[in-house]
Amino acid sequence: MASSAIINGVWDLWAKMERKPLWRLLADMSPEKLVSTIDFRYLSDVITKEEALEVLKKNRPYIKARIDEVIENGYPAYTTTVGWLGYSDQTVRENCRKALLDGYTRFKAKVGLNVEEDKKRLALIRSEIGYDKLLMVDANQKWDVDEAIDWMKQLTEYKPLWIEEPTSPDDILGHARIAKALNPLGIGVATGEQCHNRVMFKQFLSSGGMQFCQLDATRQGGVNENIAIMLMANKFKVPVCPHAGGVGLCEYVPHLAVFDYVCISGSLKNKMTEFCDHLHEHFKYPAIIVKGNYVVPQNPGYCGQMLPESMAEYEFPNGSYWVSRKDIPK
C-alpha cells in the first residue's frame, strides 16, 4: 500500500501535467509505451510481454468508438449499501426502492452471521428488485471453506451472481474449492480487494479460484501492477470488477475500469464497479453516478483530489480532528 501511494501519486502528477484524466493518459499511450510500464517478472508463465503487446495492439482500432460509448452511457456500477447486516427490514426496503429510483440494476448484500437471517434479507431484497436485476452477496472473509460451500448452497434460490470474499483472502486453494463447488450452481467467486500483489492474482486466476476480479486501486502496487492484473484477467476471461467504497476508492476505480474496457477487454459483460455513497464530500471532483452508472471522469489526474480542508482536519496524527480527541495519547 505504501508503494501504491507513491506510484499512484506519480501517475496523478503525470496525468495532471498532460491535462488528462488518468484513463485517457493510458488510452492515448502507444501499446509499446504501456507495456514498458509493466513488470512481467514472476508473470511470464501466464502472460508475456509479447502477449500483452498483441492484446493492446489488437484493441487500438476500437478505442475511439469505445471511449465515445462509455462517455455517453457511463460505466456500470453496483450499489453496495442496500442490505448491510443489522439493517431493519424497513431500511432494506427503503434502500432498495431508492436505488431503483436512482437507476441501479445491480445490488449487493452482506451475508454470513446467520443463514436464516440471510435468507430473510435476500428474500426481502428480491421482493423489491425482482429477479431481472443482478444480486451479489459478500461474506467479508467470514467462513471456513466447507462452511462457505454449505452456507451458499442454502442461498441458491435467491440467484446470487457471486459470493465475495467467502473465506480468508490469502487462501487461494480454498477459494478454488469453493468455486468448484458453487460454479455449477451459477454462483461465481469474487475476490481480490485484499490481494497483496500481482502474483496472488496470477494464482487466483490460474487455479480457478476467482470468477470476478476485484482489484483495488490502492492495495496493489499502483497503476502499473493493476495493468498487469487486468491483462491476466483478460487472458483468463475473468471480468474486472474493481473494489471501491473506502475514502477515495470510488474516485480512483473508474479510471481503471474505463481503461480496461477501452484498451484491454472491449467487453462490458458482467463488468461493474462498486459504489458506496459516503465520504465523497471530501473531494474536489467526487465520483458521480447517473442512472446506475459511473460518469466517466474528465478532470486531469487520478482520483478526485482531496480537499485541503479535509486533509488539514483528518491527517494523522496532527489534523485538528485527532488533536481534539481526548482518548488518544499525545
User: Quick check: is 243 catalytic?
Assistant: yes
Average pLDDT, the chain: 96
pLDDT surpasses 70 at 330: no
| DSSP states of 91-150 | HHHHHHHHHHHTT--EEEEE--S-HHHHHHHHHHHHHHH-SSSEEEEE-TT-S-HHHHHH
Residue 175: active-site member = no
Report the alpha-carbon distance of residue 49 to residue 43 in Å, rounded. 9
CA dist 149 and 160 (Å) reads: 13
Q: What is the pLDDT of residues 308-329, one digit of tens each?
A: 999 999 998 899 999 999 887 7
Q: For the chain, list the strands marked E by DSSP.
A: 75-83, 106-110, 134-138, 162-164, 188-191, 212-213, 273-275, 289-290, 293-294
Q: How far apart are CA 294 and CA 249, in angstroms?
A: 13
Question: In this predicted model, what pLDDT tens digit does every residue of 205-257 receive, in sequence order?
Answer: 999 999 999 999 999 999 999 999 999 999 999 999 999 988 899 999 999 99
Average pLDDT over residues 150-156: 98
152: DSSP letter: H
For 119-131, what is each residue's pLDDT tens digit?
Answer: 999 999 999 999 9
What's the pLDDT at 40? 97
Q: Of the residues 20, 108, 110, 133, which is catalytic?
A: 110
Q: Could you tell me the pLDDT band of residue 54, with boundaries at 50, 70 and 90?
A: very high
Question: pLDDT digits over 252-262, tens only?
Answer: 999 999 999 99
Q: Identify the three-state secondary structure at position 289.
A: strand
The DSSP call for residue 59 is: H
- In the chain, the domains with their CATH numbers are 2-324 (3.20.20.120)
Supply 273's cell numbers: 464497479
Residue 161 exposed, middle or buried by CB count within 10 Å (0-12, 13-18, 19+): buried
pLDDT of residue 70: 98
Q: Which entry of 108, 243, 280, 282 is annotated as an active-site residue? A: 243
Q: Do 251 and 63 touch, CB atoms closer than 8 A?
A: no
- Digit-coded pLDDT (tens) for 163-207: 999 999 999 999 999 999 999 999 999 999 999 899 999 999 999
pLDDT tens digits along 278-311: 899 999 999 999 999 999 999 999 988 899 999 9
Amino acid, res. 325? R
